[in-house]
A and B are shown apart, each in its own frame.
Chain A
């Protein structure tokens, strides 16, 4: 890798991100997969950094899953999105931040479409008015939540209790980053770092002391790809993509994988179990898998939050080896305690993948 060349490309794709006053919309699926991630995003931005983030319980899905599964037309998605923008307008905000990568790609795609086809925007405004008597202003700025953690990365680093350094060896942890396809592959200019070398997650890892590892299939899809998974007959294709990524990164011995998409961490985490059961192969040390984290979870870890408070017990791949390397203390007996120390029950252990 020619590092200087990549830095030049990253420099061509920097964007000015507003510092404060955001209208936040959640993902449809992240709260089921990684329940602490969005909570910790708001906790860090509002509680720790004292920024203004507004969210409303009235917002819905952006329609992205149905759109990318080819079950609804784009006009329907546009009307759903127009309603979200109407909620933002009613709340008095102009900056819009999405938790989900597909939502982010969806919003950008729709705004670009409206720019090219103003008559379509007029049609959607009419449809929205007929549907729910709402009007909207287009957001001045649309960001993905990882853009904001990237923007605040140095503030987080200044408050960090842990660095991404192996406490046993003193070496920086080896991190693999995986960017969701809808972040930069559709509209590279709206991302940080462009489509080929997006810097949004690499910047976080470097700021917090880790070492980013490059590997051949780094930009390959995680395997989710909507129809590749949702159509059951295609699931072999989905897992084969994930398998290809793991085979490619295996020789580089990453300590963890960092992601910024709802689907990617889920599939890279859960498919490790399926690969272990079908192929008998694990990719971490001593029979463990490679822990897969979201950027909010990683930020929370370096800030010193309790791993079980941020939902790491709901990962398929055990995070304990990573916590040990970071020097984070945790109570193994509290792993399966939920909110208010409620017992959330222990899962059945897999046959091949070591989980505790």
Chain B
């Protein structure tokens, strides 16, 4: 039956099953990652967002939820321009955070 709207695939998360080792490693390197309040200022100013879907807000949320694959593919589109760092109301050095994420979460999963 067509109701005029569709159901998205379930994005249910069981945090008990999420491996947080890498995120803890990231937190050790970048303690500010816990400061993010997901306001989305970084995403709205990101020049790569419009054509690639790169979103720093989504990256931080996805890492906390154990969705590393989504992050790695998104990271490829970052141009390291640093605009997100300039607008972050919490003063997080997002550019440096991105570099640390790239070091820890490698594409080959190693």
Across the A-B interface, the 4 shortest Cβ-Cβ residue pairs: A236-B5, A247-B10, A248-B12, A240-B8
* A275 and B5 contact, CB distance less than 8 A: no
A247 touches B12 (CB 8 A): yes
Q: Is B3 at the interface (CB under 8 A from chain A)?
A: yes
**Bound CA–CA A23/B14 (angstroms):** 42
The distance in angstroms between the C-alpha atoms of A217 and B13, with both chains bound, is 7
User: Is the CB–CB distance between B1 and A277 below 8 Å?
Assistant: yes
Cβ of A232 under 8 Å from chain B: yes
Distance between Cα atoms of A244 and B6 in the complex (Å): 13
Chain A residues with Cβ below 8 Å from B4 are 232, 235
Docked-complex contact B14 and A243, CB < 8 angstroms: no
Residues of A near B13 (CB, < 8 A) are 216-217
CA distance A243 to B3 in the complex (A): 15
CA distance A274 to B16 in the complex (A): 30
Q: What are 25 A-B contacts with C-beta separation under 8 Å? A: A216-B12, A216-B14, A216-B15, A216-B16, A217-B12, A232-B4, A236-B5, A236-B7, A237-B8, A239-B5, A239-B7, A240-B8, A243-B10, A244-B10, A244-B11, A247-B10, A247-B12, A248-B10, A248-B12, A277-B1, A277-B3, A278-B3, A278-B6, A279-B7, A351-B1
Q: Which residues of B contact A (CB under 8 A)?
A: 1, 3-8, 10-16
In the assembled complex, the CB of A83 is this many whole angstroms from the nearest CB of chain B, namely 36
Task: Report A219 CB to chain B, min CB distance, Å.
Answer: 11
Q: How far is the CB of A355 from chain B (nearest CB, A)?
A: 15
Q: How far is the CB of B86 from chain A (nearest CB, A)?
A: 30
Known A-B contacts: A236-B6, A239-B5, A240-B8. Give 5 more (CB < 8 A). Answer: A216-B13, A239-B7, A240-B10, A243-B8, A248-B14
Q: In the complex, A217 Cα to B14 Cα: how many Å?
A: 8
Contacts of A239 in B (CB 8 A): 5, 7
Chain A residues with CB under 8 Å of chain B are: 216-217, 232, 235-237, 239-240, 243-245, 247-248, 274-275, 277-279, 351
Chain A residue, CB-CB nearest to B10: A247
User: Which residue of A has the minimal Cβ distance to B1?
Assistant: A277
Q: Is the CB of B8 within 8 A of A236?
A: yes
Give CA–CA (A337, B78) in the complex, Å: 64
| CA A236 to CA B5, docked complex, whole Å | 5
Query: For chains A and B in complex, what number of residue pairs have CB atoms within 8 angstroms?
Result: 44
Which residue of B1, B7, B11, B15 has the most chain A CB atoms within 10 A of its CB atom? Answer: B7
Closest to A279 in B: B7
> In whole angstroms, what is the CA distance A232 to B8 when docked?
16
Residue in B1, B3, B8, B12 with the greatest tally of chain A CB atoms within 10 Å: B12
- How near does chain A come to B92, taking the closest CB pair, in angstroms? 25
Chain A residues with CB below 8 A from B14, complex form? 216, 248
Complex Cα distance, B14 from A176, in Å, reads 16
Closest beta carbon of chain B to A334's beta carbon, Å: 30
Are A243 and B7 interface neighbours, CB within 8 A? yes
Residue of B nearest to A352 (CB): B1
Write out the residue numbers on chain B whose beta carbons fall within 8 Å of the beta carbon of A232: 4-5
A119 and B3 alpha carbons, distance in the complex (Å) = 48
For the complex, give the distance between the alpha carbons of A217 and B6 in Å. Answer: 21
Nearest CB of chain A from residue B17's CB, rounded to whole Å: 9
**List of A residues within 8 angstroms of B1 by Cβ:** 277-278, 351
Residues of A within 8 A of B10 (CB): 240, 243-244, 247-248
A236 to B4, CA, bound (A): 8
Residue of B nearest to A276 (CB): B1
| Cβ contact of B7, chosen from A216, A245, A275, cutoff 8 A | A275
**Distance between Cα atoms of A20 and B11 in the complex (Å):** 45
Chain B residues near A235 (CB-CB < 8 A)? 3-5
Chain A residue contacts of B15, Cβ below 8 A: 216
Cβ contact within 8 Å between B3 and A244: no
In the bound complex, CA of A247 to CA of B12 (Å)? 7
Taking the closest CB of chain A, its distance from the CB of B24, in whole angstroms, is 19
Q: A278-B1, A351-B1 are in contact. Are A240 and B7 (CB under 8 A)?
A: yes
Return B9 CB to nearest CB of chain A, in Å: 8
CB distance from A121 to the nearest CB of B (A): 30
Chain B residues near A247: list those with CB within 8 A. Answer: 10, 12
